[in-house]
Copies of this chain bind each other. A is one copy, B any other.
Amino acid sequence: MNLLENHAGKLFVLSGPSGAGKGTICKELLAQTSRDDVQLSVSMTTRSPRVGETEGVSYYYVSKEEFLRRIEAGELLEYAEVYGNYYGTPKQPVLEKLAAGVDVILEIDMQGALKVKENYPDGVFIFILPPSMSELRKRLTGRGTETANAIEMRLGETLKELSYIDKYDYCVVNGQLDEAVSRVKSILTAEHSRVTFTAEELISRYKEEA
């Protein structure tokens, strides 16, 4: 904390192809930072809570009617329908955290990130990339949830999805997890060091104190 510290939080959108490891990076980032500084955005959904899930932590659970009302009212930064259930990012909790000086991390796919960018262009958009296609193939194969054919199709999709990079401010290659997390943390620090005030504001802050 000091004379110049930018007290408002910033929204950091972490996005990238499946298997790049954005979820792992988020988890590790949150483990290494205080809840006073950084928090994950909580999604809203119309699906039922599962065992072990907590309202306001895992998701905000609402009815379909309520979800549709929120879409209409423009209260979501983005949303999508998946197999009949709605998922989205409510704007209000994000804005409240930012106002309280907490950075918000939103982990989301590229389509979602694009919608967030439309609705909140002040966000900082970070693209998480796998170190190589062969490493991505290895990771997806290691999960054991898809056939070799399905994986090859997905890799083809991933190559196309890389074209989203144009919309992002930063990219971080997730080869070594520790290095990737440290790089994301540097991006957070650097973004808080940006000149976001006018010369007049700066001078008056120093004068007040002098």
Contact = CB atoms under 8 A, between A and B. Distances in A.
A195 B127 contact: yes
Q: Which of A162, A173, A191, A209 has the most CB of B within 10 A?
A: A162
A77 to B, nearest CB: 21
Interface residues on A, range: 35 or more
A186 B187 CA distance: 7
Contact of A133 (B4, B162, B187, B206): B206
Contacts of A162: 199, 202-203, 206
A169 B187 contact: no
Given A164-B199, A168-B195, A3 B186 contact: no
Interface in A166-209: 166, 168-173, 175, 182-183, 185-187, 189-191, 193-195, 197-199, 202-203, 206-207, 209
B206 A159 contact: yes
Given A163-B199, A163-B203, A191-B190, A131 B2 contact: yes
Interface in A142-175: 155, 159-160, 162-166, 168-173, 175
* Complex copy number for this chain: 2
Contact of A206 (B3, B132, B207): B132
B131 A3 contact: yes
A203 B159 contact: yes
A132 B166 contact: no
Interface string A93-133: 00000000000000000000000000000000001010111
Interface of A: 2-5, 127, 129, 131-134, 155, 159-160, 162-166, 168-173, 175, 182-183, 185-187, 189-191, 193-195, 197-199, 202-203, 206-207, 209-210
11 contacts: A2-B131, A159-B203, A159-B206, A162-B199, A162-B203, A165-B195, A166-B195, A166-B198, A166-B199, A169-B195, A170-B195
